[in-house]
Every structure is written in structure tokens, then in C-alpha cells.
Amino acid sequence: MSQDTPRPDSRASRSVTLQDIAAHAGVSRSTVSLVLRESPLVAEGTRRRVQRSIKALGYVYNRGAAALRGQRTATLGVVVYDIANPFFGAMVAGIDAALNREGYVSFLANSEDSPARQQRFLERMREHRVDGILLCPAEGTAPDLIDTLTSWQMPCVQVLRHVGEPPFDYAGTDFRRGVGLAIDHLVAQGHERIAFLGGHIGHSATRERWQGYREALARHGLAYQRLLRSDVTRRAGFELIPALMAESPAPTAVLCHNDLVAFGAMLGLKRLGRVPGRDCAVIGTDDLEEAALGDPALTSIATHPHAVGEEAARLALRRIGNPDGAREQVVLSPRLQVRDSCGALSTPLESPATTT
């Protein structure tokens, strides 16, 4: 038994382990482990010797095994509801950038706004023992989902939308304020009839926008109020316009749930023979890269997806490091990016948005 080291060299390509490194460097398994984790305990000479052995044997760290004994997997779950939306592309890039600095990797899943799919993904990520989750809750998510995650002892940061009762961790944009900025601007231009297009009451991000809309109207003492709920797609924006413009009185400006709706609305106006920005002002939300294009260039409430992603990821890392710390809400301030579609600028064509 102990007569000979049980070398299973018959097996093809057994992977190099800590044990092998230890033997090669003439130290113990534990010491090698300490070197790998950059512990200050090991003496400088030993460290160098071990590192040479690691290189020499072509060792590959096994994070799975480490995670089994330790408590970190250096892994984060990200669940969004529409990865094909350019907004989320930018946001995921931001998440990726923040995680990367800390050596974390992210699992990405796309719920397609289905709570059932979302639930499956969350369970799967739990099985993978992710250290935490970034969740953009699907529309119709049960409010107690956050309690469930808490009972799982799973750190969770909600992003852009939130469900359940505070306190919870959240990163997003101040939609209410953003809508306020846009309306202030329109009012300053002389608009008095401003409609709001798009959104379902199913989640917080819509409620916040609507609240901002009503508050701003009240603040300016405007009587006209027109709020049309709908999907938040180009098509929805396109299809809402004809009926809306046929009303009497018709609005002179439309504020849209996001840029996609705004693009659709501009298309709808053109179809009616009206010029967006002259005959009717249009403002979107998100300030996607393509907002600067189009004819006219779209004025939009910039919600900074990349920054939101970064903040969310950073918050998640903080929470993982300190699970019982006070919950945080990171709410970024939006900025109104004025272009031509609200009739404020005279420049007929501007250069494309500056690239990142």
C-alpha cells in the first residue's frame, strides 16, 4: 500500500495537481496552495521556487475544486430580460468590465421577460453556486422572489427594475428625474400638450416614468395629460401615433418610454406626412448609439447603460464581501441629450455620436 506512490500513469493525460507541483518543488501541498492564493505567509525564496515548478509542469488551477472547499466561486449570475436590446449589450459590457477587474466571470441568461424562465435560470445558477446574482426582473415577477433569494442566502442586486419591498440592493437610473428634465425642456420650448408613450404597469421602471410625467405636468400647471400604455417596441410606437395625432386636441410633443418606441413614433409621424421635431417633438429614453442617427437625430434621456452595469456589478461585489451590510441603492442621474427631434436645435445633421 504505502510501499509505492500510487501513480495512475496508465490513465491518459491525468491533469497536473497541487500534489505534483509540491513534489516537483520539494514542498507540501499546503504551501503550493498558499503560493497560488498569494498569501504573505510564504517566504520569498519558496514562492519563487514553487512558481517555477508551476510554470514547468504547466499547471492549471482548478477553480471547481477550490470552490468546493472554499466558499467563493468567483462567479456571478446575470439575468436580463432582453439581451438583443442594444441597451443590454452596453450594460453587459459594463458589468463585464467591472467584474473582470476582480477576477470574476459572469454567467449570462436571457429570461425573455418570462418569470418561469427566470426562475429556472436562478435555480440553475444556485446549483452552480454563483457568489451572487444581478437581476433585471422579468415583467410580472412575483414580489416575494427577493425574499426567496434572501432565504437562499444569495446576494442579489436588482438592476433597472425592482420588485418587493425595500430595503434591497438596487442599481439603476432615476427615471422620474429623467422624465422631469425632458418635460422641463419641452415646456421651455413652449409645449403645453405633451403625451407619454409606452410601457406596462408591470414593473417599477414604468411606474417611475409615469410618476415623473404626472409630477412634472403638475409642477408646470399643465392640464393636458395623455398616457398611452403599450409594449416598448418600435412597432408599438409606430402603431400608436395615427390615433394619437387624430385626437383633438392633439399633443405637440411625445415623450417615449425608450428609444425604440421613439424610433417607431418618428416613423409613424413621417407616415402621416409630418416632420418629427417640427410638426411634433419626439423625445426618447436611453440614448442608444443609434439615437444620433436617423432623420432627425433623436433627443433622448441618456440612461448610461454601461455605467449602470458597472455600478451594479460593483455593488454586487461589495455585497458578496459583506453579506449583512446595509442594503444600497445606486441611482444614477440621467442627462438630457438634446438633438433635433424636439425642435430645439437648428443643426439639420450632426456628426455621429462619439465612439466609446
The β-bridge partners of 286 are 302
Judged by beta carbon distances under 5 to 8 A according to partner kind, the member of its own copies, DNA, none in contact with residue 92 is: its own copies
125 is an interface residue for its own copies by CB under 8 A: yes
Residue 174, SS3? coil
DSSP assignment of 229-275 = -B-SSHHHHHHHHHHHHHSSSPPSEEEESSHHHHHHHHHHHHHTT--
329 is an interface residue for DNA by CB under 7 A: no
Q: How is residue 333 written as a grid cell? A: 442621474
Smallest distance from its own copies to CB 332, Å = 18
Q: How is residue 174 written as a grid cell? A: 432615476
34 is an interface residue for DNA by CB under 7 A: yes
Residue 137 DSSP symbol: P
Q: Which is nearer to DNA, 36 or 267 (by Cβ)?
A: 36
Q: Which is nearer to DNA, 42 or 280 (by Cβ)?
A: 42
Cβ-contact 143, 165 below 8 angstroms: yes
Smallest distance from DNA to CB 58, Å = 12
105 is an interface residue for its own copies by CB under 8 A: yes
The β-bridge partners of 64 are none
Cβ-contact 85, 116 below 8 angstroms: no
Cβ-contact 212, 177 below 8 angstroms: yes
Binding mask 241-260 for its own copies (x = CB under 8 A): --------------------
Smallest distance from its own copies to CB 39, Å = 18
Cα–Cα dist 151/166, whole Å: 16
Cα–Cα dist 133/99, whole Å: 12
295 is an interface residue for its own copies by CB under 8 A: yes
Binding mask 51-80 for its own copies (x = CB under 8 A): ---------xxxxxx-xx----x-x--x--
281 is an interface residue for DNA by CB under 7 A: no
Smallest distance from its own copies to CB 113, Å = 12
Contacts of 76 (CB under 8 A, 6+ apart): 99, 104, 105, 106, 107, 130, 131, 132, 133, 134, 313, 316
Q: Name which position in 42, 83, 187, 217 contacts its own copies (CB under 8 A).
A: 83
Cβ-contact 275, 334 below 8 angstroms: no
61 is an interface residue for DNA by CB under 7 A: yes
Judged by beta carbon distances under 5 to 8 A according to partner kind, the member of its own copies, DNA, none in contact with residue 290 is: its own copies
Cβ-contact 143, 164 below 8 angstroms: yes
Total site size for its own copies, rule CB under 8 A: 61
Smallest distance from DNA to CB 157, Å = 24
Site for DNA in 64-123 (CB under 7 A): 65-66, 68-71
E strand map for the chain: 75-80, 105-110, 132-135, 156-159, 169-173, 194-197, 226-228, 253-256, 281-286, 299-302, 329-332, 335-337
Q: Please tell me the number of Cα atoms within 13 Å of 66 on its side-chain side.
A: 15
333 is an interface residue for DNA by CB under 7 A: no
Smallest distance from its own copies to CB 89, Å = 4
Q: Name which position in 166, 242, 321, 352 contacts its own copies (CB under 8 A).
A: 352
Q: Give me the residues that bind its own copies (CB under 8 A), please.
A: 13, 60-65, 67-68, 73, 75, 78, 83-86, 88-90, 92-93, 96-97, 100, 103, 105-110, 124-129, 153, 233-235, 238, 263-264, 267, 270-271, 289-290, 292-295, 306, 349, 351-356
Footprint of DNA (CB under 7 A): 6, 8, 14-15, 17-19, 27-31, 33-34, 36-37, 41-43, 45-46, 59-62, 65-66, 68-71
